[in-house]
Copies of this chain bind each other. A is one copy, B any other.
Amino acid sequence: MELLEQRIKEEGIIIDGHVLKVDRFLNHQIDPILMDAIGEAFTERFKEAGITKIVTLESSGIAPAVMAGLKLGVPVIFARKKPSLTLGKGSYTAVVRSYTKEETNKIYLSADFINANDRILIIDDFLAKGEAVMGLIDLVKQADATISGIGIVIEKSFQDGRKRLDQLGYPIYSLARIASLSETGVEFLQE
């Protein structure tokens, strides 16, 4: 997605040569017009996949997921990083390690909103080692729902998350694929 690559080049900040900070349009300040275009791109890719729900992770996945949900006409569920007040059928839980933040989180998804008939599109902001997406896959599988697609805003293709997901056979669509990050800038994979 050329518009997104351009924004990453112009506004992304590279820390220590390997962390990409896009707080100017995605992770802290959000550009709603860009999110709308991102939602459109995911919709274009997955509109024939029979998606019934989108699952994402708070907080940075919410904006792109809601824009895609609006266009696909399906609800969005965001997995939480803290347990909710208990009620209903209870929660599915998974463990996610964040290498960037050097912490491990449990994530939660209510069993009330997802079932074996659902065809799920997982959307997340970043794919690096794949920990967060693997956690979301774990939650969806606990509900016996089908994973019909994975949409990623920014993929660090030089880390092994994409390979892990490809090996599992899921249809993956990453809008920006970063081949390398260094003090001098960002290089994208040429498709």
Residues of chain A at the chain B interface (Cβ within 8 Å): 13, 15, 19, 21, 23-25, 27-33, 35-36, 58-59, 62-63, 66-67, 69-70, 73-78, 80, 84-85, 87, 110, 112-113
* CB within 8 Å for A32 and B87 given contacts A62-B63, A78-B59, A110-B23: no
Q: Copies of this chain, how many?
A: 2
B113 touching A28, Cβ below 8 Å: yes
Q: Say how far A65's CB is from chain B's closest CB, in angstroms.
A: 8
* CB within 8 Å for A66 and B63 given contacts A28-B80, A32-B75, A110-B23: yes
* CB within 8 Å for A78 and B112 given contacts A63-B66, A67-B66, A70-B36: no
B84 touching A28, Cβ below 8 Å: yes
B112 touching A35, Cβ below 8 Å: no
Candidates B23, B70, B80, B84; contact of A35 at CB < 8 Å: B70
The distance in angstroms between the C-alpha atoms of A33 and B71, with both chains bound, is 9
The distance in angstroms between the C-alpha atoms of A74 and B25, with both chains bound, is 12
Candidates B32, B58, B80; contact of A66 at CB < 8 Å: B32
Set of chain B residues within 8 Å of A29, measured between Cβ atoms:
75-77, 110, 113
Known: A23-B112, A23-B113. 9 other contacts (CB 8 A): A28-B78, A28-B80, A29-B76, A29-B113, A30-B76, A32-B69, A32-B76, A58-B59, A59-B62
